[in-house]
A and B are shown apart, each in its own frame.
Chain A
């Protein structure tokens, strides 16, 4: 047993690529994605079409200029703005017609058209929200100046819990850790068994008196330690580099990470046991780890809004449980109901994986 762990460990040490995968890769990916992935639009290019300049128009323009969300460009005809939108130089148009000032003063309801580019609908929605914010401020100021202060029947007061600054990075970075560690765990192990078979060293292992469990354990232990090292690095980066607050306990985070690492490694081992060749193992690993962890884990796309059939499918993605746990531990704290349920699922998945691996390896060893 000890010999096996030693052998796998030596293999890891001699082949620096596994160490690179476990330590270098998470750091690199987290750096790139942590900075690169953000849903907070800042300095959105919009066209402000002012057909007739005037004091009201200028005050609206300065409202947009002062907002951190916009990088407005003043244009003088709608055709010019439409062309800019077609060429994707601006994401939205605010259109003040020539009779805007007149209607405003005469008490008519001066229409201001806002056109957003709906190709990226999510961004368009956020953009509409930002425009609304600037607009309402300007409107109440202007109404007061016109001597007809605006009466707002209901005023919305928002309290955003857990993430008051609404920084998308605060939830994307913990989610990225889950995605990256799925990759690392599965990638590290998915090729291990397949490699043994292809190189014929599995047969060599078979004739020794080691038992199947021992072979498997010998493979899991070193990779588990490697994976946890990468995890530790990622968490440290999230805390100290990206300044994601950690409101829960480190103990809960460690326990959940260990469970998740185990599940990811089990998944990798299962792939390599079932696949047989490195080619198939690698492809299956690409197909069932990265993309599902990216799309089906709830890391960017809200699971609750998916069709019910797809929601069931997400239960097969281990990253889903880990994303729920890390996002909560980082931002909300130790919420035990969430922790227990998701850890329970992770344990269940790992157990099922190991049972299948055990069965499969047994059969193969008797060939």
Chain B
């Protein structure tokens, strides 16, 4: 038993040495995750805070100016300029200089006073449909509050019912939180795959895998010795990222940190399993790298990291059940933002554990095949 532990330990040390002795590969492991967390943490957000709009006002009344002051007072809208002809719209939207044009017709004030619906025409660049929809929502909010004010001051039938909108877990609907918390999963997946996917292939290329064969190590011991570095590096990296998320980005951590770590541990196991499986299947480092890439890219895009899984077609949704990142994303997000407890998350832990164990066993079997 002690001998076994010692053998595993020395293999682990050896793995760390190969990873860390070369200055370049050391840098590759440490610098990018930190830089990426900072850059992506600030970059990845669906928030709109610079909606450039152009005013095309043909109305001379005070009312149109009142409406426009609502836009001027909002901190998401930035007035790009004023135009006075229809022909000016196309070049502005085509080049993306402005996202939308607010067109107020000549009859606007008059219609408003006569009690007819006064049209506010919004011409919006729909190239990015998400941005367009969000911007239109902001426009509606401003118009709604104008309408409320107007009816209050000028009489008229008030709406018999009102909608009170609230949002749970994220009162200001800051989409930043959602993405930043997801970065834990993203960067950990990348780092773990980097560490493990090449570990067997590298030895095979160098011919040292044959040397492992003649040592008294069993395939199981090799598996453990090769997994531990990934687990340790991933845990350190994960801790670092979580700390930054809480202290630097100030995302609330509402649930228990233990629930996050349990998730992280199982997630790392499954990622390592996949990495080692890829590694033992590939003969050259290049193939190992391709394999890691081939797994990572779909795993990230189809994980729910940026676009919701529920929007995917049913068949792709089924595929996502095989993706450990899917479960871990739900875990970190629920624990951080929703304060979810263990019992709400069991349904996420066990499939991920199953994936992890399956991958590790396949990797072990592949080792055995290569070893005997």
- Interface positions of A (Cβ within 8 A of B): 17, 21, 25, 29, 32-33, 35-44, 85-88, 100, 103-105, 107-126, 128-129, 131-132, 135, 139, 142-143, 146, 148-164, 166-168, 170-172, 183, 187, 191, 195, 275-280, 282-284, 286-288, 290-291, 294-296, 300-302, 304-307, 309-310, 313-314, 324, 327-328, 331-333, 335, 337-338
| Nearest CB on B from A275, distance (A) | 7
Q: Which chain B residues border A280 with CB–CB below 8 Å?
A: 22, 24-25, 28
Contact assessment for A153 and B129 in the assembled complex, using a CB-CB cutoff below 8 Å: no
In the bound complex, do residue B161 and residue A124 qualify as a contact, i.e. CB atoms below 8 Å apart?
Answer: no
Q: Is the CB of A286 within 8 A of B292?
A: yes
| B178 within 8 A of partner (CB) | yes
* C-alpha gap A276/B32 in the complex (Å): 18
Which chain A residue shows the least CB distance to B123?
A159
What chain A residues lie within 8 Å of B62 (beta carbons)? none
Residue of A107, A166, A305 with most chain B CB atoms under a 10 A cut-off = A305
A77–B162 Cα distance when bound, in Å, is 20
Out of A85, A122, A151, A300, name the residue touching B151 (CB < 8 Å): A151
List residues of B whose CB falls within 8 A of some A CB: 22, 24-25, 28, 32, 36, 39-40, 42-50, 52, 67, 93-96, 112, 115, 117-134, 136-137, 139-140, 143, 146-147, 150-151, 154, 156-171, 173-178, 186, 190, 194, 198, 202, 285-287, 289-290, 292-294, 296-298, 300-302, 306-308, 310-313, 315-316, 319, 330, 333-334, 337-338, 340, 344
Find B167's partner among A117, A148, A284, A296 (CB 8 Å cutoff): A117
Expressed in whole angstroms, the Cα–Cα distance for A88 and B40 within the complex equals 26
* Contact assessment for A295 and B44 in the assembled complex, using a CB-CB cutoff below 8 Å: yes
- Are the CB atoms of A120 and B313 closer together than 8 Å? no
Query: Contacts of B308 on A, CB cut-off 8 Å?
Result: 39, 41, 120, 123
Q: Is the CB of B127 within 8 A of A128?
A: no
- Say whether B160 contacts A142, CB under 8 Å: yes
A339 to chain B, nearest CB (A): 10
Query: Which of B156, B177, B310 has the largest count of A CB atoms less than 10 A from its CB?
Result: B310
**A171 and B129 contact, Cβ closer than 8 Å, known pairs A86-B344, A153-B151, A278-B286:** yes
A327 B128 Cβ-Cβ under 8 A: yes
User: Could you say which residues of chain A place their CB within 8 Å of the CB of B177?
Assistant: 121
Verify B43–A291 contact, CB threshold 8 A.
no
Which of chain A's residues have a CB closer than 8 A to the CB of B127? 162-163, 170-171, 327-328, 331-332
Docked-complex contact B136 and A163, CB < 8 angstroms: no
Contacting residue for B42 out of A40, A151, A168, A307, CB 8 A = A307
Q: A306 and B43: CB pair below 8 A?
A: yes
Which residues on the B side are within 8 Å of A157 (C-beta)? 119-122
- The docked-state distance in angstroms from the alpha carbon of A282 to that of B32 is 13
- State in angstroms the CA–CA spacing of A286 and B124 once bound together: 36
**Contacting pair B124 A291 (CB below 8 A):** no
Are B36 and A161 touching (Cβ within 8 A)? Answer: no
Complexed CA–CA distance, A283 and B290 (Å): 11
Closest residue on chain B to residue A37 by CB atoms: B307
Report the minimum CB–CB distance from B177 to chain A (whole Å): 7
Q: Which residue of B lies closest to A118 (CB)?
A: B170
Chain B residue contacts of A158, Cβ below 8 A: 121-122, 124, 136
Question: Could you tell me the distance in whole angstroms from the C-beta of B50 to the nearest C-beta in chain A?
Answer: 5
Knowing A119-B334, A335-B94, the reply to whether A282 touches B285 (Cβ < 8 A) is yes
Bound complex: CA A152 to CA B154 (Å): 12
A residues in contact with B147, CB < 8 Å: 152-154
Cβ contact within 8 Å between A114 and B162: no
Residues in A with CB closer than 8 Å to B161 are: 100, 103-104, 109-112, 139, 142
Q: How far is the CA of A115 from the CA of B165 in the complex (A)?
A: 6
With a CB–CB cut-off of 8 A, which chain B residues contact A86?
338, 340, 344
Find chain B residues with CB under 8 A from A149 CB.
157
Of the residues A88, A114, A142, A187, contact of B293 by C-beta under 8 Å? A187
Residue of B nearest to A120 (CB): B178
Chain A residues whose CB sits within 8 angstroms of the CB of B313 once the complex forms: 35-36
